[in-house]
Amino acid sequence: MESLNNLLPLLPIALALVAFALHYYWRRWRHARLINTPLPALWVTYLEQRLPVYTRLSAQQRNHLHQMIHLFLDDKTFYGCAGLLVTDEMRVCIAAQACLLCLGRQGPLYPGLQAILVYPAAFLVARESFQEDGTVADEAHALLGESWDSGRVILSWDDVARGASDFTDGHNVVLHEFAHQLDSASGATNGAPALRRNDHRGSSHTSYQTWATVFSENFNDLRERAQQGKPTVMDTYGASNEAEFFAVATETFFEKPLELQAKRPELFEQLLHYYQLDPRQWHPDNASH
């Protein structure tokens, strides 16, 4: 009886461990089931209509993307804001673009992300700004999207749809905000995401030292060009700070890979190794640029 009494304080811990194990194995079973479940035909139609680049993926890539969409939608919660009703079409369109960033990468899909908030159009947020007289005032800014370290991404549906329909202009709010999510997985959103130790050829191209050197040189060059009004393949919003540079570089890598390779070859190579994916094959019409 005394030994039983000694074990009683351990009972809550044991129950918690059992509950954790049951949840873990249930999720593994559910994920295995989802991976082997074909994507609904209507969802495939959404992809073909909303995301033209989808039809340029290889059959293997499309199949892998289908699996990732299933897992993403099972794991993340969508919320409509400002009266918006989030439909399956919206969810699939957003999930597909977010999963494109991870198509060549291994590991869980945005493990720190819990919720995607979707507004009908650009939304207003209050930001503190310093005035000329030294005071601080709240000013409203219209945003297309935001990424939070607290496990949330906020998107404007109008801009999601616009970005998906034209996968060649270098502007894509989903790619941008989910690049921030990848960036923040390293512990800080600073343009230095967690890197693989080696790439698929066993080289050290993705070392933090090489990454820092290439990104710093290209960031400073973009900032100088922005200040001087010179043309650049990347949107000059990337000159705002290192985190925005990585997000804009990601947009350009996926939507203008041939131009990025021509204008910023070292940056292109770093992104190629990081994403373990080559979007140039999706843009054959731009091969002459």
Handedness of CA 160, 164, 169, 174 (dihedral sign): positive
Instruction: For Cα atoms 172, 60, 160, give the angle at the middle one, nearest 5 degrees.
Output: 15
At 143 the pLDDT is 79
CB of 66 closer than 8 Å to CB of 38: yes
Report the pLDDT value the prediction gives residue 150, as an integer from 0 to 100: 83
Average pLDDT over residues 57-61: 96
Q: What pLDDT is recorded for position 248?
A: 98
Query: Where does the pLDDT of residue 27 fall: very low under 50, low under 70, confident under 90, or very high at 90 and above?
Result: low
Nearest residue to 92 (alpha-carbon basis) of 76, 81, 103 = 76
82 class by beta-carbon count within 10 Å (0-12 exposed, 13-18 middle, 19+ buried): exposed
pTM of the model: 0.82
Confidence of residue 15 (pLDDT cuts 50, 70, 90): low
Backbone angles phi, psi at 165, to 5 degrees: -70, -30
Mean pLDDT score across all residues of the chain = 85
Structure tokens at 168: 């060649």
Residue 29: per-residue pLDDT? 47
276 has which bridge partners?
none
What ranges in the chain are assigned the alpha helix state H? Answer: 2-7, 11-35, 41-50, 59-75, 88-100, 157-165, 173-184, 208-228, 242-255, 257-263, 265-275
Q: Express each pLDDT in 168-196 by its tens digit.
A: 999 999 999 999 999 998 888 889 898 87
* pLDDT reported for residue 106: 87
Which pLDDT band, with edges at 50, 70 and 90, does 142 fall under? confident
Query: 217-248 burial, b for 16+ CB within 10 Å, e for fewer?
Result: ebbebbbeebeeeeebbbbbebbeebbbbbbb
Q: What percent of the chain has pLDDT over 70?
A: 77
For the cut 70, the answer to whether the pLDDT of residue 127 exceeds it is: no
Domains of the chain, each with CATH number or no CATH: 187-289 (3.40.390.10)
Q: Mean pLDDT check: name the lowest of 43-47, 100-104, 142-146, 153-157.
A: 142-146
- The percent of residues above 90 in pLDDT, for the chain, comes to 66
DSSP-derived pairing of the beta strands 115-119 and 152-156 = parallel
Say if residue 11's pLDDT is above 70. Answer: no
- 3-state SS, 106-133, equals CCCCCCCCCEEEEECCCEEEEEEEECCC
Q: Region 196-220: what's the mean pLDDT?
A: 75
Tens digit of pLDDT for each residue in 246-265? 999 999 999 999 999 999 99
The number of CA neighbours under 13 Å toward the Cβ of 247 is 29
- The answer to which of 55-64, 102-111, 131-140, 267-276 has the lowest mean pLDDT is 131-140
